[in-house]
A and B are shown apart, each in its own frame.
Chain A
Amino acid sequence: MKFVAEIREGLGISWNALISNKMRSALATLGIIIGIVTVTLMGAAINGLNQAFIKNVSALGADVFYVSRFKWFNNTYEDWLSMRKRKPLHLVDAEALSKQLTLAAVVVPAISDNDSVKYKTRSASSVDIIGTTDGYLQTSGGDIAQGRFLTAADGRGNQPICIIGNDVATNLFRGENPIGQRIRIANQSFQVIGVLGKQGNLLGWSLDNRVIIPIREFLSGIWNGQLDDIEVKAGKLANLDDAQNELRQVMRRIRHLRPDQADDFAINQQDQLVAWFHSQTATIAVIGLFITSLALFVGGIGIMNIMFVSVVERTREIGVRKAIGAKRRTILLQFLIEAACICCFGGLIGLGIAWLATLAVTQWLFPASLSAGIVIIAVIVSLLTGVVAGFLPAWRAARMDPVEALRSE
């Protein structure tokens, strides 16, 4: 009860002190505002970029496994050389997988090439030509803007039909209706049966610059090679681990691996991509936050300095308070509260400015986002700065000899 009263009294005294030195308080607050704004903005920028990336890769789907010869990341050159020797994946593997897997919703083989696509006199160069089956739309998360996608029958047969990406449609057809037209890929004629919706980029790789054709047509007409990967979508999100285990066991059976042999394939997942991205950005984030926190540190030093001045100026006041019975704790608390008030106030104003700046940055530069976590951390950090910076001056005030303090002029 007494403690609460002390805090209330401390708040009152600090408020009066802050009001009586308006300019000084404002400048001290400004230092903290600058620090908090930079740190918060840096946090928001990092946060925003991370979110943008995760949104970007979510097109891959968390429940899709990519069976391939190569692991996506953490490869050394030696690893790569040994993985290069692994047996290729073929269409029969995908068919066996789809027959034997019980926990998978769809199994989709995919093979791709990079080639130019021609329509009449126009041509688009380096388009991704993807050979796949009807399930591809489910694993890659696209949608159809016009026409239709491959059907199950298309996936099994080899008709010269294709679905073109959004960029290909706009580049080649320039406003004409592409459906039913014939385009030339690798000197063969394909009929356009559908156009994909706009999907954007994945790690700078355009997802709209592609043409999808039936996989058998790809293998018989363009390049009879090994598959890039077999994409397996798990049936339920709940049994993702079971699905992965089953996939691994079935793959081992298909590849005729003895129990003592290691896997000669890799099962890749979206979260590997996310982990890789975090490992890449972590260092940048640490350095960025460190450099910006220097500004906050400098602001804190400014507070400490002005608190020292304030303690010296109010020596008599401290002496009087002590003489009529104030404890050390009370004096300490009074000055700590004053410093914390400045910082808290600065922190809140700083957050407001940072919020506005975040909106502006998102509008014109890159995605940034202010999360609740950042806001809470910013408030705590600014409070902490105040307490840490205010402690030494407050300690000096609390330790003053009341007799000496009263005598000081």
Chain B
Amino acid sequence: MPAKRTSLLLGEIQESFTMALTALTAHKLRSALTLLGVLIGVFSIIVVMTAMRVLERNVENNLSQLGSRTFAIQKWPEVQFGNNSDWEKYWRRKNITLELGETVEKKATLASAVGIEGTFWGGQIQTRYAKTAPTVQLLGETTGSFEARNWTVEEGRIFNDNDVDDARDVCVLGAALAKSIFPFGSPVGNELKINGINYNVVGILASKGASLGGNQDNFVIVPLTTALNRYGLRWNGLGILVQARNSAVYADCEEQVRGILRAARKVRPGAADDFELFSNDSLIEQFDKFTRAVRIGVVVVSSIALLAAGVGIMNIMLVSVTERTREIGVRRAVGAKRRNIMGQFIMEAVVLCEIGGVIGVVLGILGGNILAWFMKVPPAVPMDWIVLGLLICSIVGVIFGTYPAYKAANLDPIESLRYE
């Protein structure tokens, strides 16, 4: 019995679907204009969401200088969105010093590499061939930083422990910088001047490419000890980079380092950390939180277009019910139930919406990915929003199709047969 009922229901659905398609193709212009409204509404949602996803990708690319197993510790949060009312709280924190970094290096047993780093003022680099603007970033690093930061050497070598311990005047160049100041031949082994002081080039890093915010490779790295001797500890303190042995112990490693730092900085149990510990994921999460308000706003505004489209659908469905009064009368007369008539018209509205929705989704994805093409980021397809967009289409169809369908279903069969 239930099986029979199911097949009956399926048959009804199939029937109303084909009827809907026939009715829609019978009035091509009318159907096209009606679904154009839905198309535009869905398009505007999907295009913005795709563009947002692409932007997100781009930010992720920019932030992911840290490897997946690496986290960083700083006095200041890496990114601050919105108000900076906590400024004073961060400002009051003790600096992270070289000694603290060394303590972590010694005690963090779950870490495969610990790097300590500091950024210093922009400097001017001078070689025999060229002189840069005084905006080249000067980074002080220890040996472990290279592994933790995912830096690979293209030529030459990274620092060894002796370079760092003896505070030698050596440096490693970013790829773009190396090309611009040593246009001819290999820079390794040559001398250059950073703010007037001689350094020996020992290595060149592999390029990480340019991103939105400019060139990523425009920096020079010197041993941290050398930089501290010359420029001192700046107000923002140093940063510590920790790479966990493997992803399985990542969480444990984070806890271990947190414990080491709290003990070393004498943070009381129960008190909040007096440092920021963050990874790629937490940065991306923060970005998401920041953009959430924007996304919600866009969806709300775009859905208003869908509302207008829904009103248009309702109007045209009412017209179509009036026009097909005789047809409805005939169907009722030969035994169609109210339910069947209702299903027929709602199905018509939903099919209309879905066709518009699918075209809108396709156009939206194409439109949003134009941005990806401009920014040279791999294209994004927001699957969740596609599903949601199509779902919203069906809902619009059902909501605005119900009243005309109800009207059609409640027509008196005798009256409607008599209708001219």
Contact = CB atoms under 8 A, between A and B. Distances in A.
Interface of A: 23-24, 27-28, 30-31, 34-35, 38, 42, 77-78, 81, 125-126, 204, 288, 291-292, 294-299, 301-302, 304-306, 308-309
Contacts of A297: 40, 305
B264 to A, nearest CB: 27
Contacts of B307: 34, 295
Nearest to A39: B304
Interface of B: 29-30, 33-34, 36-37, 40-41, 44, 48, 83, 88, 122, 133-135, 298, 301-302, 304-305, 307-309, 311-312, 314-316, 318-319
A288 B44 CA distance: 12
Contacts of B319: 24, 306, 309
A125 B33 CA distance: 63
Nearest to A21: B319
A301 B302 contact: no
Contacts of B36: 298, 301
A291 B298 contact: yes
B312 A302 contact: yes
A31 B311 CA distance: 6
B316 A306 contact: yes
Contacts of A294: 40-41, 44, 302, 305
Q: Which of B36, B307, B312 has the most CB of A within 10 A?
A: B312
A178 to B, nearest CB: 24
Contacts of A35: 308
B21 to A, nearest CB: 19
Nearest to B124: A81
Contacts of B301: 38, 42, 288, 291-292, 295
B212 to A, nearest CB: 16
B311 A126 contact: no
A302 B305 CA distance: 11
Contacts of A23: 318
A304 B134 CA distance: 62
Contacts of B37: 298, 301-302
Contacts of A204: 83
Given A295-B304, A305-B33, A308-B30, A81 B134 contact: yes
A26 to B, nearest CB: 9
B316 A298 contact: no
Contact of A299 (B33, B34, B83, B308): B308
Contacts of B308: 31, 34-35, 295-296, 298-299, 302
A302 B315 contact: yes
Contacts of A125: 88
Contacts, number: 94
A22 to B, nearest CB: 11
A296 B41 CA distance: 11
A34 B311 contact: yes
B305 A301 contact: no
Given A294-B44, A299-B308, A27 B315 contact: yes
A1 B24 CA distance: 45
B34 A305 contact: yes
Given A295-B304, A298-B309, A126 B40 contact: no
Interchain residue pairs A-B with the least CB separation, the first 3: A302-B312, A27-B315, A305-B33
Nearest to B48: A291
Contact of B312 (A81, A301, A308): A301
B29 A308 contact: yes
A202 to B, nearest CB: 15
B33 A304 contact: yes
Nearest to A291: B301
B318 A305 contact: no
Nearest to A296: B308
A38 B29 contact: no
Nearest to B314: A27
A210 to B, nearest CB: 17
Nearest to B313: A302
A27 B311 CA distance: 6
Contacts of B83: 204
A298 to B, nearest CB: 4
Given A291-B44, A295-B304, A304-B33, 18 more contacts: A23-B318, A24-B318, A31-B312, A38-B304, A42-B301, A81-B134, A291-B301, A294-B41, A294-B305, A296-B308, A298-B312, A301-B33, A302-B37, A302-B309, A305-B30, A305-B34, A306-B316, A306-B319
Nearest to B133: A78
A24 B315 contact: yes
Nearest to A32: B308
B393 to A, nearest CB: 14
B41 A27 contact: no
A81 B298 CA distance: 40
A126 B88 contact: yes
Contacts of B29: 308
A23 B404 CA distance: 11
Q: Which of A35, A38, A295 has the most CB of B within 10 A?
A: A295
Contacts of A309: 30, 316, 319
A28 B33 CA distance: 14
Contacts of A31: 308, 311-312, 315
A88 B72 CA distance: 39
Contacts of B33: 301, 304-305, 308
Given A38-B301, A78-B135, A295-B305, A306 B40 contact: no
Contacts of A126: 88
